[in-house]
Amino acid sequence: MVVRRYAAEALVRIGQPSVEPLIAALKDEDVVVRRAAAEALGKIGGELAIEPLVAVLKDEDVDVRRSATEALGKIGDGRVVEPLIVALGGQNVRQAAAAAFTTKESQKREYEIILEREPDNQIALQGLLKVQMEMQDFQGASTTLEKLIALNPEETAYQAMYQSIKRHLNSPVEDSKANLKH
Protein backbone atom coordinates (compact mmCIF):
# COMPACT_ATOMS: atom_id res chain seq x y z
CA MET A 1 0.00 0.00 0.00
CA VAL A 2 2.64 2.56 1.06
CA VAL A 3 4.93 1.61 -1.82
CA ARG A 4 2.13 2.03 -4.38
CA ARG A 5 1.16 5.40 -2.89
CA TYR A 6 4.77 6.62 -3.11
CA ALA A 7 4.95 5.26 -6.63
CA ALA A 8 1.95 7.43 -7.55
CA GLU A 9 3.72 10.46 -6.07
CA ALA A 10 6.89 9.63 -8.03
CA LEU A 11 4.85 9.46 -11.22
CA VAL A 12 3.86 13.10 -10.69
CA ARG A 13 7.51 14.04 -10.98
CA ILE A 14 7.76 12.11 -14.24
CA GLY A 15 4.84 14.08 -15.63
CA GLN A 16 2.74 13.38 -18.72
CA PRO A 17 4.25 9.95 -19.59
CA SER A 18 2.97 8.66 -16.23
CA VAL A 19 -0.70 9.45 -16.88
CA GLU A 20 -1.62 5.96 -18.10
CA PRO A 21 -0.17 4.11 -15.06
CA LEU A 22 -1.96 6.58 -12.80
CA ILE A 23 -5.24 5.99 -14.64
CA ALA A 24 -4.76 2.27 -14.03
CA ALA A 25 -4.11 3.00 -10.34
CA LEU A 26 -7.56 4.62 -10.10
CA LYS A 27 -8.92 1.04 -10.17
CA ASP A 28 -6.58 -0.29 -7.46
CA GLU A 29 -8.24 -2.19 -4.61
CA ASP A 30 -6.53 0.06 -2.05
CA VAL A 31 -8.37 3.29 -1.24
CA VAL A 32 -5.13 5.15 -0.43
CA VAL A 33 -3.67 4.24 -3.82
CA ARG A 34 -6.82 5.34 -5.67
CA ARG A 35 -6.84 8.64 -3.77
CA ALA A 36 -3.11 9.24 -4.43
CA ALA A 37 -3.59 8.46 -8.12
CA ALA A 38 -6.46 10.96 -8.39
CA GLU A 39 -4.40 13.62 -6.62
CA ALA A 40 -1.42 12.93 -8.88
CA LEU A 41 -3.57 13.18 -12.02
CA GLY A 42 -4.82 16.54 -10.80
CA LYS A 43 -1.24 17.76 -10.49
CA ILE A 44 -0.21 16.46 -13.92
CA GLY A 45 -3.42 17.32 -15.75
CA GLY A 46 -4.06 16.33 -19.32
CA GLU A 47 -7.04 15.35 -21.39
CA LEU A 48 -6.46 11.61 -20.95
CA ALA A 49 -7.19 11.91 -17.24
CA ILE A 50 -10.60 13.58 -17.53
CA GLU A 51 -12.80 10.60 -18.41
CA PRO A 52 -11.26 8.21 -15.84
CA LEU A 53 -11.49 10.87 -13.12
CA VAL A 54 -15.15 11.49 -13.98
CA ALA A 55 -15.73 7.75 -13.54
CA VAL A 56 -14.06 7.91 -10.11
CA LEU A 57 -16.70 10.45 -8.99
CA LYS A 58 -18.80 7.31 -8.38
CA ASP A 59 -16.16 5.55 -6.25
CA GLU A 60 -17.46 3.95 -3.05
CA ASP A 61 -15.00 5.94 -0.91
CA VAL A 62 -15.82 9.58 -0.17
CA ASP A 63 -12.14 10.60 0.03
CA VAL A 64 -11.42 9.09 -3.38
CA ARG A 65 -14.42 10.94 -4.82
CA ARG A 66 -13.26 14.18 -3.19
CA SER A 67 -9.73 13.74 -4.60
CA ALA A 68 -11.14 13.09 -8.07
CA THR A 69 -13.35 16.17 -7.79
CA GLU A 70 -10.42 18.35 -6.77
CA ALA A 71 -8.27 16.86 -9.54
CA LEU A 72 -10.91 17.67 -12.15
CA GLY A 73 -11.07 21.21 -10.85
CA LYS A 74 -7.30 21.57 -11.21
CA ILE A 75 -7.40 20.28 -14.78
CA GLY A 76 -9.93 23.02 -15.48
CA ASP A 77 -11.29 21.67 -18.77
CA GLY A 78 -14.81 22.76 -19.72
CA ARG A 79 -15.89 19.12 -20.00
CA VAL A 80 -15.60 18.70 -16.24
CA VAL A 81 -18.27 21.27 -15.38
CA GLU A 82 -21.29 19.01 -15.94
CA PRO A 83 -19.89 16.04 -13.96
CA LEU A 84 -18.97 18.40 -11.12
CA ILE A 85 -22.48 19.85 -11.08
CA VAL A 86 -23.86 16.31 -10.88
CA ALA A 87 -21.44 15.66 -8.01
CA LEU A 88 -22.92 18.68 -6.23
CA GLY A 89 -26.05 16.60 -5.74
CA GLY A 90 -24.14 14.08 -3.61
CA GLN A 91 -24.26 15.10 0.04
CA ASN A 92 -20.72 13.87 0.77
CA VAL A 93 -19.01 15.55 -2.16
CA ARG A 94 -20.98 18.79 -2.38
CA GLN A 95 -18.34 20.84 -0.58
CA ALA A 96 -15.47 19.22 -2.47
CA ALA A 97 -17.11 19.85 -5.84
CA ALA A 98 -17.57 23.50 -5.04
CA ALA A 99 -13.97 23.73 -3.84
CA ALA A 100 -12.70 22.22 -7.09
CA PHE A 101 -12.87 25.56 -8.85
CA THR A 102 -9.36 26.90 -8.85
CA THR A 103 -9.61 30.51 -7.71
CA LYS A 104 -11.03 31.86 -4.49
CA GLU A 105 -13.38 34.14 -6.40
CA SER A 106 -14.78 31.27 -8.45
CA GLN A 107 -15.04 29.14 -5.30
CA LYS A 108 -16.98 31.94 -3.66
CA ARG A 109 -19.27 32.26 -6.69
CA GLU A 110 -19.91 28.50 -6.77
CA TYR A 111 -21.00 28.50 -3.13
CA GLU A 112 -23.24 31.48 -3.83
CA ILE A 113 -24.86 29.59 -6.72
CA ILE A 114 -25.55 26.62 -4.45
CA LEU A 115 -27.00 28.95 -1.81
CA GLU A 116 -29.30 30.58 -4.36
CA ARG A 117 -30.89 27.14 -4.84
CA GLU A 118 -30.54 25.99 -1.23
CA PRO A 119 -30.29 28.99 1.13
CA ASP A 120 -30.03 26.78 4.24
CA ASN A 121 -27.31 24.47 2.88
CA GLN A 122 -24.93 24.42 5.82
CA ILE A 123 -22.11 22.75 3.90
CA ALA A 124 -22.18 25.53 1.31
CA LEU A 125 -22.42 28.18 4.04
CA GLN A 126 -19.40 26.69 5.80
CA GLY A 127 -17.48 26.53 2.53
CA LEU A 128 -18.38 30.12 1.71
CA LEU A 129 -17.28 31.20 5.18
CA LYS A 130 -13.92 29.46 4.73
CA VAL A 131 -13.32 31.16 1.37
CA GLN A 132 -14.40 34.55 2.73
CA MET A 133 -11.96 34.20 5.62
CA GLU A 134 -9.15 33.19 3.24
CA MET A 135 -9.96 36.25 1.11
CA GLN A 136 -10.13 38.39 4.26
CA ASP A 137 -13.70 39.36 3.32
CA PHE A 138 -14.70 39.95 6.92
CA GLN A 139 -17.91 41.81 6.05
CA GLY A 140 -19.09 38.88 3.93
CA ALA A 141 -17.97 36.41 6.60
CA SER A 142 -20.00 38.34 9.16
CA THR A 143 -23.15 37.97 7.04
CA THR A 144 -22.49 34.26 6.44
CA LEU A 145 -21.94 33.71 10.16
CA GLU A 146 -25.28 35.40 10.91
CA LYS A 147 -26.97 32.79 8.70
CA LEU A 148 -25.06 29.91 10.32
CA ILE A 149 -25.94 31.19 13.80
CA ALA A 150 -29.62 31.41 12.83
CA LEU A 151 -29.48 27.78 11.66
CA ASN A 152 -27.38 26.61 14.65
CA PRO A 153 -28.15 28.87 17.64
CA GLU A 154 -26.50 26.43 20.05
CA GLU A 155 -23.17 26.44 18.17
CA THR A 156 -20.95 28.66 20.31
CA ALA A 157 -18.00 28.51 17.90
CA TYR A 158 -19.98 30.44 15.27
CA GLN A 159 -20.99 33.02 17.86
CA ALA A 160 -17.42 33.46 19.08
CA MET A 161 -16.12 33.84 15.53
CA TYR A 162 -18.88 36.35 14.76
CA GLN A 163 -18.01 38.46 17.82
CA SER A 164 -14.32 38.36 16.91
CA ILE A 165 -15.01 39.51 13.35
CA LYS A 166 -17.33 42.27 14.57
CA ARG A 167 -14.61 43.52 16.92
CA HIS A 168 -12.13 43.41 14.04
CA LEU A 169 -14.48 45.34 11.74
CA ASN A 170 -15.02 47.99 14.41
CA SER A 171 -11.32 48.35 15.29
CA PRO A 172 -9.57 51.72 14.79
CA VAL A 173 -7.15 50.07 12.33
CA GLU A 174 -10.02 48.89 10.12
CA ASP A 175 -11.67 52.33 10.35
CA SER A 176 -8.45 54.01 9.16
CA LYS A 177 -8.12 51.48 6.30
CA ALA A 178 -11.67 52.28 5.22
CA ASN A 179 -10.87 56.01 5.29
CA LEU A 180 -7.79 55.46 3.12
CA LYS A 181 -9.90 53.72 0.46
CA HIS A 182 -12.24 56.72 0.16
Return the domain boundaries, the chain. 1-101, 104-169
- Give pLDDT, residue 140: 94
- Say what the pTM is: 0.45
- Give pLDDT, residue 50: 87
Alpha helices, DSSP H, located in the chain: 2-14, 19-25, 31-44, 50-56, 62-75, 81-88, 94-99, 104-117, 122-134, 138-151, 156-169, 172-181
Low-confidence ranges of the chain (pLDDT < 50): 1, 3, 11-12, 15, 101, 175-176, 179-180, 182
Query: Tens of pLDDT along 62-105?
Result: 889 888 888 887 776 667 766 776 665 655 555 655 555 456 77
- Give pLDDT, residue 44: 80
Q: How far is CA 143 from CA 49, 98, 137, 139, in A?
A: 39, 20, 10, 7
- Give pLDDT, residue 83: 72
- Give pLDDT, residue 40: 85
- Give pLDDT, residue 27: 93
Q: Which CATH number fits domain 104-169: 1.25.40, 1.10.287, 1.20.1560, 1.10.3470?
A: 1.25.40
- Regarding the domain with residue range 1-101, which homologous superfamily does it belong to in the CATH classification? Leucine-rich Repeat Variant (1.25.10.10)
